[in-house]
Amino acid sequence: MAAASFPAFAPAAKAFELAEESKLTVAFTGDMPGSGWQDGKLIGYDGEIMQKIADKLGLKIQPALMEWSGTIASVEAGRVDVMLGTMGWTEKRTKIMTLSEPIHYFKNGIMQSTKTNWDKLSDLEGKKVGTITGFSFVPELKKINGLELSLYDTSDAAVRDLIAGRIEAVIGDPPVVSYAIKQNPDWNMQFLAFADQNAEFPLLTGLGQVVYGINKKNDDLRQKMDAIIAEMWKSCEMKAIGARYGLSADVWYTPSGDNFRAGVDRPTDYKLPSCAAGG
């Protein structure tokens, strides 16, 4: 039915070098509000957008639920075609995957008790902090003076240790931890974005872009995906989808600061997409 509904994309879909013919094999972590699987479809912010892309390309989603540490390696090896899960753009990742247009922006921050109000890198000095194995900013966390870092395979495991008092803070995906806090007010936790603007810690304190990672042999697939994403930005559909998952503030859809992709994996005159306030 999907192929019949979007005939213009059907011939192109057959040309992609997919892990499984006529299917888009998607690696995801299942951390909401980013991704999940329900009634045979991807859900969550990242997932819902990917489901729409697959439908328009005439491809059936083949789900591949896994821990974060396995997602990028699976794309690089060709075991899956694309990965998602609030993945931030980094120059390093452009070397091993082809990365989509952003689907939203974010600021990293600190998940912590409501008894504290930490919003600076210096607040983490000498603290026990948890994050997820494979996250791009791990090397930056290790540079913070006296910080005792614990690595976890899942966000759930890190948050459990935070609630139990075994660690004092979690640096995780902002949408994931914000959503978890909203769903569990009895935790008495809060998320505060970093107030720092520190060039030595660009991944922790800069504006991030959430993207999809695609196997390099399928850059043509990435281009087709980007065309659909561009239309969703123009119509502000990104923001309409985000509102269903608690991502309604303009900060998620407004780029600011340095355009670090220009001249790296995009042309030098590249402009980041945005959705105007009130759109």
pLDDT tens, position by position, 141-154: 999 999 999 999 99
User: What's the mean pLDDT when you consider all of the chain?
Assistant: 91
3-class state of residue 66 by DSSP: coil
Is residue 77 scored above 50 in pLDDT? yes
Bridge-based pairing of strands 82-88 and 23-28 is: parallel
Nearest 5°: CA angle at 274, between 273 and 275?
140
- Contact between 50 and 64 (Cβ < 8 Å): no
Query: Which among 86, 111, 252, 116 has a CA at the least distance from the CA of 171?
Result: 111
Q: What is the edge-to-edge ordering of all strands in the sheet holding 128-132?
A: 148-152, 128-132, 169-170, 109-113, 189-193
Q: Please report which residue ranges of the chain form alpha helices under DSSP H.
A: 2-5, 10-15, 45-57, 68-77, 91-94, 138-141, 155-164, 174-183, 202-205, 219-234, 237-243
Work out the pLDDT band at 42, boundaries 50, 70, 90: very high
Q: Can you give the pLDDT at residue 251?
A: 82
> Both tokens of residue 239?
């923001």
Per the CB < 8 A criterion, the answer to whether 88 and 210 are in contact is yes
3-state DSSP assignment of residue 220: helix
Asked if pLDDT for residue 222 goes beyond 70, the answer is yes
Q: Average pLDDT of 50-55?
A: 97
Q: How confident is the model at residue 257 (pLDDT cuts 50, 70, 90)?
A: confident
- Tell me the mean pLDDT in the region 84-103: 94
DSSP class of residue 20? B
In this predicted structure, the answer to whether residue 177 has a pLDDT above a threshold of 60 is yes
Please check whether residue 245 is in contact with residue 33, taking contact to mean a CB–CB distance below 8 angstroms: yes
